[in-house]
Amino acid sequence: MSGHLWIVSAPSGGGKTSLTHALLPRLLALGVPAQISVSHTTRAPRTGEVGGVHYHFIDEARFVEQIGANAFLEHAHVFGRRYGTARTETEALLAQGIDVVLDIDWQGARQVRAAMPEAKSVFILPPSRAELERRLRGRGTDADSVIAERMALARDEMSHYAEYESLVVNADFETALEQLVALFLAPRLALEGQKARHAALIAELLEN
């Protein structure tokens, strides 16, 4: 049975990265293999980053060549650097029955839906503007002008929440994580998949 492609988006400070990384071992314990997609990028590795683990690091010319070859499900140009999700790598994981999580913004989500309409999507919201600002301030080292800019960017991202199938409010981390687990489990419990997975059991139960 093929895996499912998941788009997970949130504003900066929404808790998306922490939630998706905590999600994988929870799903695996329930028999659902899942993996966060490793993006391609033209930026240089940062200290501690490993190629193929954190990102696939490639140069500008190679990235542009890949765009021309329609090799990306989605790609973006952010602050002078390019980022993209490889099509063949994603399809190979799905074919192995692995759920693939794309940690992308609403613009990337639109590209993925156009390429793979069957992709499932969830948007993560913070519980309030005040809590979002508290999270964005982090260690308290950013100037107020920087925080104001980040809040404006977050508001723009959040304005696209209605383009997604599901919505999770991250007020309490554990509750939000449980809701994500439930969302990821639901498609695997749909009738057609369960019929195929438990064909032998069903045949035995219905045998005369």
CA distance 60 to 64: 6
State residue 9 phi and psi, 5-degree precision. -125, 155
Structure tokens at 100: 């693939």
Whether residue 135 lies inside any domain: the answer is: yes
Residues 119, 113: contact at Cβ < 8 Å?
Answer: yes
- The predicted structure's pLDDT at residue 139: 62
- The predicted structure's pLDDT at residue 70: 95
**Domain of 131, in residue numbers:** 5-37+99-205
Whether residue 45 lies inside any domain: the answer is: no
Residue 191 has pLDDT above 80, yes or no: yes
Whether residue 118 lies inside any domain: the answer is: yes
Which letter, b or e, does each residue of 43-68 get, where b requires 16 or more Cβ atoms within 10 Å of its Cβ?
Answer: eeeeeeeeeeeebeebeeeebeebee
CATH number of the domain that 189 lies in?
3.40.50.300
Binning pLDDT at 50, 70 and 90, where does residue 162 land? very high
Binning pLDDT at 50, 70 and 90, where does residue 138 land? confident
Whether residue 21 lies inside any domain: the answer is: yes
pLDDT tens track for 26-51: 999 999 999 999 999 999 999 999 99
- The predicted structure's pLDDT at residue 140: 73
Model pTM score = 0.91
- Three-state DSSP at 72 gives strand
- The predicted structure's pLDDT at residue 131: 95
Total count of domains within the chain: 1
CA distance 120 to 43: 29
